[in-house]
Structure 1
Amino acid sequence: MNIKATDSELEILSVLWKRGACTVRDVHEELAKTKDAGYTTTLKLMQIMNDKGLVERDATSKTHVYKALASQEQAQQSALDKIISTVFEGSTAGLVIQALGQHRASSDEIDAIKKYLQQFEE
């Protein structure tokens, strides 16, 4: 699934990935902790996301409950594909070098990266 989500939609998906199925109010309250988000804006975005197939709305009860249809892994893959092809001109190595140069990786993360790379050397 190719995920074409805006930054605001990704923030909503992030809440749904973390908390599971939620009402609009649940999502709005979570977003309001870190940004100024209006309830009606959150509602409209979630309706658009439903139309786009990013979330599914359960309308069987009075309060509609939304759940993510797009997985976090699918969203990460789509975002990385776009960044690698546009910003890094297709260079996966360029992305990795930039990421490791700009953000300090923990020793556990470095070990995981080494272990992953060893798969390709064998």
Structure 2
Amino acid sequence: MANHSSFPPKPTDSELEILSFLWQHGPSTVRQVHDHLAETKEAGYTTTLKLMQIMHEKELLSRTEEGRSHVYTAKVQEAETRQTLLDRFVETTFRGSAAQLVMQALGNHKTSARELDEIRQLLNNLENNH
């Protein structure tokens, strides 16, 4: 089932957990992924297996056979996936306004002086590039 749209498929929260593990740890078996997920939530091995098979069909993961095990690798890049999710979130939640997103985020959380300095530096870089 190939994905022919211009956007990669949007991963669900559970799929993002699996992708995050694979981005951090590299190619892994279902057992390795499942053991990690089972540390923080109730999940049956067959549920993890089925989810990873669906992710393979959605072209979020690639799969190779090593002995009796399948080894899965993330087919989508972390930065690209984050950007796609962020773009969709900004578009649907803030009507496309990144400024509204930033103001909401900064207004709701305690921002450290170091984070504010990083934000100022980012803003300065953006201004200098325009």
TM over 0.5: yes
Q: Alpha-carbon deviation of 1:120?
A: 2.4
Contact 1:17 1:68 in 2 (8 A): yes
Letter aligned with residue 73 of structure 2: K
What's the % identity of the aligned pairs?
Answer: 52
Give a deviation string over 1:45-79, Cα, whole Å, max 9, x none.
10111111111111142111111111111111111
Tell which has more relative contact order, 1 or 2 (C-alpha 8 A, sep 6+): 1
Q: Which runs of 4+ in 1 moved over 4 A?
A: none
Q: Alpha-carbon deviation of 1:3?
A: 4.1
2:122 matches 1:116: yes
Contact 1:84 1:91 in 2 (8 A): yes
2:90 matches 1:91: no
Aligned match of 2:59: 53
Matching residue within 46, 63, 67 for 2:69 = 63
Q: How far apart are the structure 2 equivalents of 1:107 and 1:16?
A: 33
Give a deviation string over 1:1-40, Cα, whole Å, max 9, x none.
5341111101110111111111001000101111111110
Give me the TM-score of the superposition, normalised by structure 2: 0.86
Q: How far apart are the structure 1 equivalents of 2:34 and 2:74?
A: 15
Give me the TM-score of the superposition, normalised by structure 1: 0.91
Unaligned runs of 5+ in 2: 1-6
RMSD over aligned CA atoms reads 1.4
